[in-house]
Amino acid sequence: MKNMVRNPNKKPLYFTILIDLKGSRTNFKSQAATSEFIAYFLQQLNGTFISRLGDARFNQKDGDAIMIVLQEGMEEQVFKIYQFCNSLVYRPKFKEFYSTKLLPNKSLKFYFSIGVGSVDTNLEQLNNVDVVNGTSVSRATEGVAIAKMICQNELPDSFNFKKSPFKLFINTTTSLGIQMNADSVMGLFYLLYEKILNTQAKRLGYALLYPERKMSNIDLARELATEYKKPAYDVNYEDATQRAQVSSKVSVMLSPVKKEPIETIQNAIVNGLVNVRKELS
């Protein structure tokens, strides 16, 4: 088999993630509330991923969006960021914070766009959202617009993420043409976040278990009691009988998630993102 060597005239590829807050002017109490929420969200993202992404950082863009540019080879982190965001919205402290910023009866939703392409800016400027440019960035911006169209049912044959608060679109082209690998990966995201995690209980279970948290049933039960304020798990943990009962309750709650081929799908998503990049190389 002939060795595949990168064409020296080809530019390196990047993944630009643009997380655009939906309804920032209509769902939040004030512009200040929106800004405070974005700042808090940024803190959570950078605090979690600061040691995984090299010099890349999440930054605020245009007041109500968050952007990061990742170099090729970070396909796993692209997935981990989406995974983290979908788990974060279930964490009590995060929910408590954003609930104080939203208007009554409003919910938290985002457009989550991944643009794959080149970057024309010096590497030193990748974290400067006002300067960085290239097809990766423009495709991420266009991806947000496409995600909005999908949510408004203007593109009926597309993957419409209704259960996940992060409305995903992966954009590898400047037109609405066929992008086979990207569409396949979106299909895998849709399978996991819309079809498998199709109940509130499953999504909470997934948030408790992933990303790959190695915790015992008892530790999870304690977390449900203290952090999530679930009274069914607020028992005397020194009592062996009560401890066994809550451990069993955790097993029952997590069973619908654990029986699914979630890790297989997650690995397929990461491999699919690699193929997306190779398709454009």
Amino acid at 280: L
Do residues 165 and 108 lie in contact, with contact meaning Cβ atoms separated by under 8 Å?
A: yes
Q: Would you say residue 10 has pLDDT above 90?
A: no
Q: In what order do the strands lie in the sheet with 110-117?
A: 59-61, 65-71, 14-21, 110-117, 166-171
Q: Would you say residue 3 has pLDDT above 70?
A: no
261 preceded by a cis bond (ω within 30 of 0): no
Q: Would you say residue 5 has pLDDT above 50?
A: no
Residue 9: pLDDT band (50, 70, 90) is low
Verdict on whether the full-model pTM lies above 0.75: yes
Q: Quick one: 184 exposed, middle or buried, by C-beta within 10 A (0-12, 13-18, 19+)?
A: middle
Give me the pLDDT at residue 258, please.
85
Do residues 258 and 208 lie in contact, with contact meaning Cβ atoms separated by under 8 Å?
A: no
pLDDT tens-place string over residues 126-146:
999 999 999 999 999 999 999
How many angstroms separate the CA atoms of 277 and 167, rounded?
Answer: 21
